[in-house]
Structure 1
């Protein structure tokens, strides 16, 4: 059996978005990702789940669908953490937990803008292809977020 390419099982992408923190943070709701992320056809609450569980289905334009569960949310520290709990078609790894965090830029040439990080921590069975795909999807989504938040 051939060995896989050793790789990190985490990814972190970031961007400075030319918009105020409140304009960016307003868009960071799992059920609203399709309002900015061009790869998504729709993002909607999953009906029939318990009131304590926030689960959203992301349906991608290529037909893939993910059920994502909000694990943490802070309106004070401006971050959300979510996990993928199911996927159709099935993913090749056991789990991933992602966090999107927004920071106001308070000085320098980007003062008044927002610094955003989007991390993903995958289970150890994720291969290099999974990590590369996650990197590029986050980059594309951050570019889409920047367009939506800045009105460009």
Structure 2
């Protein structure tokens, strides 16, 4: 059976009806469980070098991911992370994701925050993986909007 050719990247975005300060405060790997309804909890992984930030995400469906912070910028408001381990195992080799926040400074959404969440997958990720990533990001962005609207 031949594979269906597919893009190995996904980008989802949303305008969150809250100021940048309220949204950016939650965009830290250890805080994703405070807004993402699919996550049961998240915790720091201890015993790794001081230069390496790794967080364990425990999903409500039993999946456990260890994600490594690759980049973080409080100036440009983005965080990039990679999945370094998964139980159950992933069906692809690698993924690097970035969540980026932009303040909306004019127009009808002035004072709100534009958020993008990208994922760049290894070439062995199939169309099902990309579709799943798309829907998970959409759900997480909706959860983020709901979390900041309660404040």
User: Under a length normalisation based on structure 1, what TM-score does the superposition of the two structures give?
Assistant: 0.98
Indicate the SS of the match to 2:99: strand
Map Cα deviations across residues 21-66 of structure 1 (whole Å, 9 max, x no partner).
0000000010011000000000100011111100000000000000
Where does 1:16-31 land on structure 2 (aligned, <5 Å)?
16-31=15-30
Structure 1 partner of 2:41: 42
Q: What is the aligned residue count? A: 151
CA–CA separation in structure 1 for the residues paired with 2:53 and 2:88: 22
Structure 2 partner of 1:13: 12
CA–CA separation in structure 2 for the residues paired with 1:91 and 1:125: 11
Residue 151 of structure 1 and its aligned partner are, at CA, apart by 1.4
Where does 1:121-140 land on structure 2 (aligned, <5 Å)?
121-140=120-139
User: What is the RMSD of the two structures over their aligned residues, measured on CA atoms?
Assistant: 0.7
Map Cα deviations across residues 105-150 of structure 1 (whole Å, 9 max, x no partner).
0000000000000000000000000000000000000000001112
Where does 1:3-152 land on structure 2 (aligned, <5 Å)?
3-151=2-150
Point out 4+ residue stretches in structure 1 off by more than 6 angstroms: none
CA–CA separation in structure 2 for the residues paired with 1:138 and 1:47: 27
Residue 76 of structure 1 and its aligned partner are, at CA, apart by 0.3
